[in-house]
Chains A and B, each alone.
Chain A
Amino acid sequence: DADVTQTPRNRITKTGKRIMLECSQTKGHDRMYWYRQDPGLGLRLIYYSFDVKDINKGEISDGYSVSRQAQAKFSLSLESAIPNQTALYFCATSGGTERDYGYTFGSGTRLTVV
């Protein structure tokens, strides 16, 4: 079983719709992150959370919001989706005794906004 799970794996939505991407982890990590991946731009940080009560904006937070429902769950919302939010979205975790070991990534959610 995957230790960082993202749902859905693929999603097509219309411009203006609200959509939520979910991430859950069984790693016991305290830190969770949302990145988007675009060709030629690499991974850019959207939001990050170091615990349930600590949520911070990343480089490109405009148009996005997040919710840390529990230590194991971190959701990303697009309140009103627009086509340039079409991308591959990754959730990542770090922390605990593996804090120095880098991130553990989910499999990604491919979002298309039409």
Chain B
Amino acid sequence: AQRVTQPEKLLSVFKGAPVELKCNYSYSGSPELFWYVQYSRQRLQLLLRHISRESIKGFTADLNKGETSFHLKKPFAQEEDSAMYYCALKGGGYQKVTFGTGTKLQVIP
């Protein structure tokens, strides 16, 4: 079975402070991992994928297979980063996506 754990329901940081949103996963095969973001009253949208190793809006995430983690990081938080963030894993025979329970990031001005 595949599982995604986001241990923090709420993360509050001051503007300009570093951000790290934690994500741990459980999966027996080779996972594909994603971060999705949901701004207030908007649809979920893909933020980044581990296979592309890209940086979007200053966010990066590195897959650590040894620690089974895919933490999302940004060196300097901005107010517009305030949103819900979901970590997701794609795997299994049908390539279904399993989401974590989400972390609400609140950036304090």
Contacts and interface: CB of A to CB of B under 8 A. Distances in A.
Do A and B come together as binding partners? Answer: yes
Interface string A3-40: 00000000000000000000000000000010100001
A83 B97 CA distance: 27
Interface residues of A, number: 23
Given A40-B9, A50-B94, A100-B51, A105 B99 contact: no
A107 B43 CA distance: 5
Contact of B44 (A48, A58, A105): A105
A106 B44 CA distance: 8
Contacts of B70: none
Interface residues of B, number: 23
A106 B51 CA distance: 24
B94 A56 contact: yes
A41 B45 CA distance: 18
B101 interface: yes
A106 B101 contact: no
Contact of B101 (A42, A58, A90, A104): A42
Contacts of B31: none
